[in-house]
Amino acid sequence: MSLEKFAIIESTLREGEQFVNAFFSTAEKIQIATLLDTFGVEYLELTSPLASPESYNDCVTIARLGLNAKILTHTRCNLEDAKKAVDTGVGGVDVVIGTSSYLREFSHGRTIDQILDIAQEVVAYLLSQGVETRFSTEDSLRSDVEDIVRVYRAVCALGVHRVGIADTVGVGTPRQIYDLVARLRQELTCDIEFHGHNDSGCAIANAYAALEAGATHIDTSVLGIGERNGITSLGGFIARLYATDPALVKKYHLPLIRNLDSLVARLVRVDIPFNNYITGFASFTHKAGIHAKAVLNNPATYEILRPEDFGLTRYIHVAHRLTGWNAVKGRAEQLGLCLDDEQLKYLTSEIKTMADHGRLTLDDVDALLYDAANSVGD
C-alpha cells in the first residue's frame, strides 16, 4: 500500500465552481484558496481561463499570491486552451479529454487515434513550456481499458508528470477503481491521479481504493461540491485516512476543516449536512445510554475520530428516553451538582417518563437536576 505518499489536488475552485449554487467572486476565491493553503493541501485547481475573462484574471491573480500550494488550471485537451493556460502563469495544467464511447460519439466526436495525436501534441507543448502537466481521460470507467492504457503509455513516454482517471459519472466501485489503478501502476512510471464523482455514494471509498492501488494524487472539494451531487469531499477523505492512521494526515492543519466547511457552505448557500464527516452537527453527539456510558469511560469505544484533533468537542445527549443514568450523572457533574447514585437512577426514570410524552430539552433535564439537588436535606 502506498498510502503514506499522496497529495491532494483541491478542486473547490474548479469542480466546485460547477456546483449548481456556486458563484465565487475573485475575493471569495482568494479567501478559499488562502484557507486551503493554510490547511496544507498540496495543489489548488482553478477553473479554465477560457471559461470567462474573469476566470482568466483569477488564474493570474491566484498564481501570483505566493501560496505554498501549487496552482493548477484545468482545460480541454487542445493547443489553444493549453496556450492560454500557460499564459496565466500557473504552475501546472490539467488537461482532460473524453474517451468513453458516450463522449466520443455525443461530445467531441474524435476517435481514439485522433485522441492519441492531440494528447501527444498538447502534452509535448505543455512540457516544453516547463509546466507540471497532467493528462486525464474523462469517463475513464466507461472507457475501454486498452484504449486508455494506449493513450497513457504514449503521454507517459513523452514525460508527462501525471495521468488521471476520472469517474465522471460516479459509477465505479472501490474494487473496480482498485483494479484499474493497479493495472495502470503496472504499465506506467508516472504519477496517477484519481477524480471521483459521488452519484452512488462511493467517492470517498473509491479515492481510498485508488490510493491503496498506487495512486499518488486525489482530487477533492470542500463539502464535496461539484457537478450534480459532487465529488470526493475533502473532510470525508481526511476522515477516511485518519481512521486508518492519524499519522497519514498529520501534515494538514485539521482544525481548519470546520472553517473550510463553514466558509464554503455559506458561500454556496447550503447548510453543512447533519451527517457530514467531522463537521456535521451530530458527528460527535452520543445518544443511547449504553453508548454514553462507554464514551464517558473511554471515548475510543464509539469514536474513531478524536474531536479534539479537529478542534471540536463531543456532546453526550441526555434529554431523551434512550438515556441512561451514567449520562445523567455526567450531566449533573458538569453542572457541579451533588446527587447520589440512587437519586440519579430515580431522576433517570423520571426523565424517561417525561420524554415518553414529548420532546425534552436539556433545560428541562437541568431544571429537574437542580430541583433534586436543591431539595436534598429538605
Residues near ligand HCA (CB under 6 A): 15, 18, 74, 94, 96, 136, 138, 164, 166, 168, 195, 197, 227
Q: How many residues bind Cu ion (CB under 5 A)?
A: 1
For residue 69, how far is the Cα from the chain centroid? 17
Spatial CB neighbours of 133, under 8 Å, sequence gap ≥ 6? 92, 93, 95, 123, 126, 127, 160, 161, 162
Task: Find the shortest distance in angstroms from Cβ 96 to Cu ion.
Answer: 9
Is residue 94 within 8 A of residue 126, CB to CB? The reply is no
- DSSP secondary structure letter of residue 233: B
**Closest CB 254 distance from ligand HCA, rounded Å:** 26
Q: Could you tell me the smallest distance in angstroms from the CB atom of residue 209 to ligand HCA?
A: 17
Query: Cα 16 to chain center, whole Å?
Result: 11
Nearer to ligand HCA, 164 or 324 (CB): 164
Which of 18/262 has CB closer to ligand HCA?
Answer: 18
Q: Which does 136 bind (CB under 5 to 8 A by kind): ligand HCA, Cu ion, none?
A: ligand HCA
In the block, cell 452520543 appears at 286
Q: How far is the CB of 65 from ligand HCA (least distance, A)?
A: 23
3-state secondary structure (DSSP) of residue 164: strand
Please state the closest distance from residue 83 (CB atom) to ligand HCA, in A.
Answer: 18
Assign residue 147 a region (left: φ > 0; alpha: ψ between -120 and 50; beta: otherwise). alpha
- Minimum Å distance from CB 170 to ligand HCA? 9
Q: Which DSSP symbol is given to 18?
A: G
Task: Give Cα 18 to chain centroid, integer Å.
Answer: 16
- Please say if 108 is a catalytic residue: no
Query: What gap in Å lies between CA 188 and CA 153, rounded to an integer?
Result: 7
Q: Is 315 exposed, middle or buried (0-12, 13-18, 19+ CB in 10 A)?
A: middle
The alpha carbon of residue 147 and the mean position of all alpha carbons in its chain are separated, in whole angstroms, by: 30
For Cu ion, what does the binding mask look like between residues 3 and 42, x meaning CB under 5 A? ------------x---------------------------
Give the integer Cα–Cα distance in Å for 181 and 175. 10
Among residues 270, 293, 294, 274, which one has the least CA distance to residue 284? 274
176: nearest Cα among 138, 209, 214: 209
Which among 205, 130, 143, 192 is positioned nearest to 169, based on CA atoms?
Answer: 143
CB of 305 to ligand HCA, least distance (A): 28
Residues 325/326/330/336 CA torsion (nearest 10 deg): 60
Residue with the closest Cβ to Cu ion? 15
Nearer to ligand HCA, 231 or 278 (CB): 231
Q: Which CB sits closer to ligand HCA, 197 or 329? A: 197
Q: Choosing from 74, 161, 217, 291, which is the catalytic residue?
A: 291
In 3D space, the residue among 56, 59, 47, 49 whose CA is nearest the CA of residue 17 turns out to be 47
The residues annotated as belonging to the active site are: 291
Report the interface residues with Cu ion, using CB under 5 A.
15
